[in-house]
Chain A
Amino acid sequence: MPALWIRNARVIDPATRRHAVGDLFARDGVMVPRLSPADRKRARKIDATGLVACPGLVDIHVHFREPGQTHKETIGTGTRAAAAGGFTTVVCMPNTVPPADNAGTIQFIKDAVERDAVIKVYPTGGITMGLKGQVMAPIGSLKRAGIVAITDDGDCVQSNEMMRRALEYAKMFDLPLMDHCQDHSMTHDAVMNEGVMSVRLGLRGWPHAAEDLIVSRNIILAGLTGAHVHLQHISSRHSVGLIRRAKARGVRITAEGTPHHFALTEAALVGYDTNFKMNPPLRTEADRRAIIAGLRDGTLDCIATDHAPHTANEKDREFDFAPNGIIGLETALAVSLGVLVRQAKFKLPQVIDLLTRRPAELLHLPGGTLAPGAAADICLFDPTESWRYDAAAGMSKSANSPWHGQTLRGRVKMTIVDGRTVFAHGKIA
């Protein structure tokens, strides 16, 4: 493989505090500070004039549906969607069929990644068997099989005792526990946020308090056990406040915000469009603003998509009966630029940080930096190019996106993994 020379890019690498127009070099798939004259001559040269070059994006919350639901997505199609969105590292959730609650399923996923993935994929394992919250999964074996965290994502562990023991046990293996915070006793049959809008639409709502309660529980148990709890897709402004205060006390918790929760509100549900149905649900404008504030001041540690593919068949139903979830990998960068940079006036490097260094550090993943010696995982994007997003024409096998048909600004031009171009000119290389 020839050396790589990216020329004249606006390089943004929060991990090394680099933000300047310049060149990037890689050899043998690894970032290097410079190339020898001989390497330069033979190097593959990419003119990145006008483009931002940043570390390949990192998403610690995706659903690739393999094994078991490959009609929705596969590791092949999911990683292509990720590459098209500028992502080079993702962490996939264990709610597959069967669930990833055993070393064999983790090995199956790793084999599929080895065979089909175009970017790096790290698996997570269940906290409990079948993600049912009753019996602890073999967390040690899962760790040995290669997981980077445990989670029952989508099925929040309801028993405080189970959660406490899982945290104590996982701490022994230095595994973070990621939790989808939802008190099920308060959310029977709920399909959206509870409030004025659910009353207007006649839909069952789930109150933010059902998230706040579990966030509080997790803060308390993180304090008790000293284990690392990561709070997934925070949707409630009160939860943001709880996390902020807990962090100030030094509790070992981290949290993520999704593009849909900081870009959209429950007002989008007025037409009962199931591409706005996800769990936790879109909430109010005050919640949306609180999530942005949380990302701004570090209360929320990173952006994650919760990329959750479902086929058109499955989504094209009465609102009550459609499954939760939307895809997000191909739109995350553009939506983040639109909301956080252009509307909320974040500095661009801060948004890049939330999409690269911080999620990588949170789960101790390699990547998220362009520092010499790091893998040459690079995203090149045009921060100003406008493009019309056609979800059906995207790389994901599913098209359940709330941004379908919209004009977005900021477009990924090239994604490089280990020095190899995996996505360029709108196509998988």
Chain B
Amino acid sequence: MPWHRKHLLTIEELSLAEIGQIHATAAAFKAILQRNEKKVPALRGKTIVNLFHEPSTRTRLAFEMAAKRLSADVISFDAASSSTQKGETLRDTAQNIQALNADMIVLRHGASGSPLYLSRLLDIPVVNAGDGAHEHPTQGLLDTFTMVEHLGSLRGRKVVILGDVLFSRVARSNIHALTKMGAAVTLVGPSTLVPAWFEDFGVTVSHDLKSALADAEVVMLLRIQHERQVSSHFPSLGEYTSVFGLNRTRAAWLNPRAIIMHPGPINRGVEIDSELADGPRSVILEQVSNGIAIRMAVLYLCAGGQPESVVSATE
């Protein structure tokens, strides 16, 4: 089946087959990344603009590195140093970027739905690098890719997403990817941050950490986004840690071969103890590495590449 999508806006709109195509393409790029010569000519002559309206370390670096590995020219800028500060709208900024002959835009923006909005305005592909509390599709793709590497098929696997689900785009993209892939997803966290409405996604909502973690094969922690929450959502970081923080005692409730994931940035000692974040079950840094292969796959496919021609595109 050929890839036909120009934009990557959400995981919600992807089919299981499309997720599989991205994963397979990423696997091919990952093999290449382990070679001496890591750069491939697939997007030579193309210009990719990373348009970041919110702070980011991992996502922005990974997109930048992915573009460079594909031989694209990449320009990254953040809104803090752009004409946005002079009142330029997203629409105008994006149309100017297109007029400058960019071939693709990677957008990180605080307003949910803004990548969809841009995709309707522009002729060039738009890749969502995180929009508000909506979706962060490449994160969901790299997380599920990492899970598959460790567990094989995710069908029937118990995956726990723990923390601030309400404000998390990472959680939403993972929920969509995991439910499509057949995993049994449990969301756990304070009732103010994990409302029962999430059950509409086909997942289990729990506020009891012990029963939620029991036999889980994956626990994905989410960062407590204190910059987004209004003070009424939970009493304090200390209280959060005492009720929901992952520590050695609680990690023992997990399935013995469970992996511990976190999309970063980590609040050490808040949602997870350092010894677990740095411990043998943690795959947090693997997630970061896989993030490059996933973003290479997404950029390559949205630029018109086909999954089966990755190898020839790399010669």
Which residue of B is nearest A204, CB measured?
Answer: B133
Alpha-carbon gap, A271 to B109, bound state (A): 17
B195 and A202 within 8 A (CB) = no
A202 and B89 within 8 A (CB) = no
Within the complex, the shortest CB–CB distance from B31 to chain A, in Å, comes to 34
A318 and B200 within 8 A (CB) = no
Q: Does B77 contact A (CB under 8 A)?
A: no
Residue-wise, chain A 260-272 has the 8 Å CB interface mask toward B (1 for contact) of 0000000000011
B197 and A196 within 8 A (CB) = yes
Alpha-carbon gap, A320 to B134, bound state (A): 12
Q: Does B30 contact A (CB under 8 A)?
A: no
A320 and B195 within 8 A (CB) = no
Within the complex, the shortest CB–CB distance from A406 to chain B, in Å, comes to 19
Q: Does A203 contact B (CB under 8 A)?
A: yes
A201 and B230 within 8 A (CB) = no
Q: Does B264 contact A (CB under 8 A)?
A: no
A317 and B90 within 8 A (CB) = yes
Q: Does A200 contact B (CB under 8 A)?
A: yes
Within the complex, the shortest CB–CB distance from A202 to chain B, in Å, comes to 3
Which of chain B's residues 180-211 have a Cβ closer than 8 Å to chain A? 195, 197-198, 200-201
A202-B134 in contact given A316-B91, A319-B112 (Cβ < 8 Å):
yes
From the candidates B91, B112, B230, name the one contacting A202 in the complex (CB within 8 A).
Answer: B112
A201-B134 in contact given A188-B230, A318-B111, A319-B112 (Cβ < 8 Å):
yes
Contacts of A195 in B (CB 8 A): 197
From the candidates B90, B91, B132, name the one contacting A203 in the complex (CB within 8 A).
Answer: B132
Within the complex, the shortest CB–CB distance from A75 to chain B, in Å, comes to 29
A318 and B197 within 8 A (CB) = no
Q: Does B135 contact A (CB under 8 A)?
A: yes
Q: Does A46 contact B (CB under 8 A)?
A: no
A199-B90 in contact given A272-B116, A319-B113, A320-B112 (Cβ < 8 Å):
no
A318 and B117 within 8 A (CB) = yes
Which residue of A is nearest B121, CB measured?
Answer: A316
A320 and B111 within 8 A (CB) = yes
Which of chain A's residues 82-121 have a Cβ closer than 8 Å to chain B? none
Q: Does A173 contact B (CB under 8 A)?
A: no
Which of chain B's residues 66-89 have a Cβ closer than 8 Å to chain A? 89
Alpha-carbon gap, A204 to B112, bound state (A): 9
Which of chain B's residues 123-145 have a Cβ closer than 8 Å to chain A? 131-135
Which residue of A is nearest B114, CB measured?
Answer: A318
Alpha-carbon gap, A321 to B197, bound state (A): 25
A202-B135 in contact given A188-B230, A195-B197, A317-B91 (Cβ < 8 Å):
yes
Contacts of A196 in B (CB 8 A): 197, 200
Which residue of A is nearest B195, CB measured?
Answer: A199
A321 and B111 within 8 A (CB) = yes
Alpha-carbon gap, A201 to B114, bound state (A): 11
Residue-wise, chain A 171-211 has the 8 Å CB interface mask toward B (1 for contact) of 00000000000000000100000011011111110000000
Q: Which of B109, B111, B116, B132 has the most CB of A within 10 A?
A: B111
Alpha-carbon gap, A316 to B90, bound state (A): 10
How many residues of A are in contact with the other chain, CB < 8 A?
18
Q: Does B260 contact A (CB under 8 A)?
A: no
Q: Does B172 contact A (CB under 8 A)?
A: yes
B197 and A272 within 8 A (CB) = no
Contacts of A198 in B (CB 8 A): 197
Which residue of A is nearest B111, CB measured?
Answer: A318
Contacts of B48 in A (CB 8 A): none
Alpha-carbon gap, A272 to B132, bound state (A): 13
A199 and B197 within 8 A (CB) = yes
Within the complex, the shortest CB–CB distance from A283 to chain B, in Å, comes to 14
Alpha-carbon gap, A250 to B199, bound state (A): 42
A271-B116 in contact given A201-B134, A202-B172, A320-B111 (Cβ < 8 Å):
yes
Residue-wise, chain B 57-68 has the 8 Å CB interface mask toward A (1 for contact) of 000000000000
Which residue of B is nearest A321, CB measured?
Answer: B111
Q: Does B166 contact A (CB under 8 A)?
A: yes
Q: Which of B109, B113, B116, B172 has the most CB of A within 10 A?
A: B113
Alpha-carbon gap, A383 to B197, bound state (A): 41
Alpha-carbon gap, A98 to B61, bound state (A): 48
Which residue of A is nearest B172, CB measured?
Answer: A202
B200 and A201 within 8 A (CB) = no
Q: Does B169 contact A (CB under 8 A)?
A: yes
Which residue of B is nearest A318, CB measured?
Answer: B111
Which residue of A is nearest B118, CB measured?
Answer: A318
Within the complex, the shortest CB–CB distance from B96 to chain A, in Å, comes to 16
Contacts of A202 in B (CB 8 A): 112-113, 131-135, 169, 172
Within the complex, the shortest CB–CB distance from B275 to chain A, in Å, comes to 33
Which residue of A is nearest B199, CB measured?
Answer: A196
Within the complex, the shortest CB–CB distance from B23 to chain A, in Å, comes to 24
B230 and A318 within 8 A (CB) = no
Contacts of A320 in B (CB 8 A): 110-112, 132
Contacts of A271 in B (CB 8 A): 116
A203-B197 in contact given A272-B117, A316-B91 (Cβ < 8 Å):
no
B197 and A201 within 8 A (CB) = no
From the candidates A188, A203, A317, name the one contacting B112 in the complex (CB within 8 A).
Answer: A203
Contacts of B132 in A (CB 8 A): 202-203, 320
A199-B200 in contact given A188-B230, A271-B116, A320-B132 (Cβ < 8 Å):
yes
Contacts A202-B172, A318-B109, A318-B117 supplied; 15 other A-B pairs, CB < 8 Å: A195-B197, A196-B197, A198-B197, A199-B195, A200-B12, A200-B201, A201-B113, A203-B113, A271-B116, A272-B113, A318-B111, A318-B114, A319-B114, A320-B111, A320-B112
Interchain Cβ contacts under 8 Å between A and B, 10 examples:
A196-B200, A199-B200, A201-B113, A202-B131, A202-B172, A272-B117, A317-B89, A320-B111, A320-B132, A321-B111
Pick the 10 closest A-B CB pairs, nearest first: A202-B134, A272-B113, A318-B111, A202-B133, A202-B112, A320-B111, A196-B200, A199-B197, A318-B114, A196-B197
Which B residues have a C-beta under 8 Å from some C-beta of A?
12, 89-91, 109-114, 116-117, 131-135, 166, 169, 172, 195, 197-198, 200-201, 230
